[in-house]
Amino acid sequence: MSEIIFDAAVSLNGYLADENYGLQWLFDVPGAREPDPDLLPKNVGVHVEGANTYMWLIDNEQLMENPHKWQEYYPGVTTYVFTSRDLPIPDGADVRLVNGPVAKFLPEIRGTAGLKNIWVLGGGELLGQFLDAGAIDILALTIAPVALARGAELLPRNIGSERLELVQAHKAGPFARLVYRVRDSR
C-alpha cells in the first residue's frame, strides 16, 4: 500500500527556505549537492508541492529553457502543484495545477499514485493541510547545520507529541536525519 511522505531538509531552527524562498544556505553545506540516495523516498509516483517550491525548482534548474531535464529528474512522476496562480509547465512534464483544500484533491492524488508513494515536498502550509486531513504517514526531516534568521516555516501548526512516533534518528554526513511515523488524531 502506498504512503504519503513529507521529506525535506530544514534549517536547525525549522525553516524550509530563507525569506526569499531560496535554498542556497542548504547547498552551501558540504555534501548537500549530492545527497545520499538512501535518504530519498522510494517508489514515488506522485510529487505534491506548493507554488513557491515548484517555482524554485523551475527557476533554479532552468526547466523552462531545458524541459528535457524534467524527464531526467522525474521520469514517470506526476506532480501536483497547489496554487492560485497560473504557473509555467515545462514541455512534456506531467504537472497538474490545482487550487483548493488538500482534502478535496486527496482521492485524485491517491488514484494517480496507485500503489506508489506520494512525496509531499513543501511547503509548510501544504504540510499542515495534509496533517489536518490526517493524510501524512511519514514525516522525515534532514536537519542542516545552519540557522536562519527568518524564512518559510516548516510547519505553521501545533502538532502534539502524541501524533509523532520517532522511528529513526541518525547522522547523515553533516546532517541529522529524523523520521517519524504520524498518527492520525482526527
What CATH number corresponds to the domain at position 86?
A: 3.40.430.10
In-domain check, residue 35: no
In-domain check, residue 28: no
Alpha helices in the chain (DSSP H): 24-27, 51-60, 68-73, 102-113, 124-132
Nearest to 38 by CA among 149, 175, 184: 175
At 78-110, the pLDDT tens digits run: 999 999 999 999 999 999 999 999 999 999 999
In-domain check, residue 127: yes
The pLDDT, as a whole number, for residue 33 is 78
At 163-177, the pLDDT tens digits run: 999 999 999 999 999
In-domain check, residue 109: yes
In-domain check, residue 96: yes
In-domain check, residue 27: no
How many folded domains does the chain comprise? Answer: 1
User: Domain range for residue 145?
Assistant: 4-17+41-182
In angstroms, the CA 186 to CA 162 distance is 12
C-alpha cell at 134: 490526517
Contact present, 179 and 168 (Cβ < 8 Å): yes
At 34-74, the pLDDT tens digits run: 777 788 899 999 999 999 999 999 999 999 999 999 999 99
In angstroms, the CA 53 to CA 152 distance is 10
Tracing cell 509531499 back to the chain, one arrives at 120
In-domain check, residue 164: yes
Contact present, 57 and 26 (Cβ < 8 Å): no
